[in-house]
Amino acid sequence: MFLKCNIQSILVQLKNQVFTEKKLDHISDNLIVSNNSIERNLAEKFPELTKSEREVCHLIYLNMNSKEIINARNMTASSIKSIRFRIRKKLDVPKGEELELFIQQLLK
């Protein structure tokens, strides 16, 4: 029973990893095209954002969730949470508004 649970857990993790990697492949294709313009746009509009914060904004703009950003950036959940908090503060995101939607509207 214990072995069966472990195997099922590993299979779920592998499926999630495959899904994330496919999404990252698709995103990396789009990232090459859009990277310069989005990074430049963010740097011009919000010079107070650090390079790391701009990169996370870019990944959020590309519809990556926190777990995917953690995997892509090889960071801890608390680091991403902290970066997202600083981004919200620096961009003056209204309380109750989703950061993802705010960034999407901001960079259109």
Whether the Cβ atoms of residue 54 and residue 91 lie closer than 8 Å to each other: no
> Per residue in 16-27, pLDDT tens?
888 877 777 766
pLDDT of residue 94: 92
Q: d(Cα 105, Cα 41) in Å, to the nearest integer?
A: 13
Query: Count of alpha carbons within 13 Å of 16, Cβ hemisphere only?
Result: 9
Average pLDDT over residues 54-60: 90
- HEC assignment per residue over 17-67: HHHHHHHHHHHHHHHHHHHHHHHHHHHHHCCCCCHHHHHHHHHHHCCCCHH
Q: Please count the structural domains in the chain.
A: 1
What is the pTM for the complete model shown?
0.67
DSSP-derived 3-state class of residue 107:
coil
Average pLDDT over residues 81-104: 93
Q: d(Cα 80, Cα 76) in Å, to the nearest integer?
A: 7
End-to-end CA distance of the chain: give it in Å, rounded. Answer: 52
Average pLDDT over residues 65-83: 91
Q: What is the mean pLDDT of the chain?
A: 84
State the residue range of the domain holding 16: 2-106
pLDDT of residue 8: 84
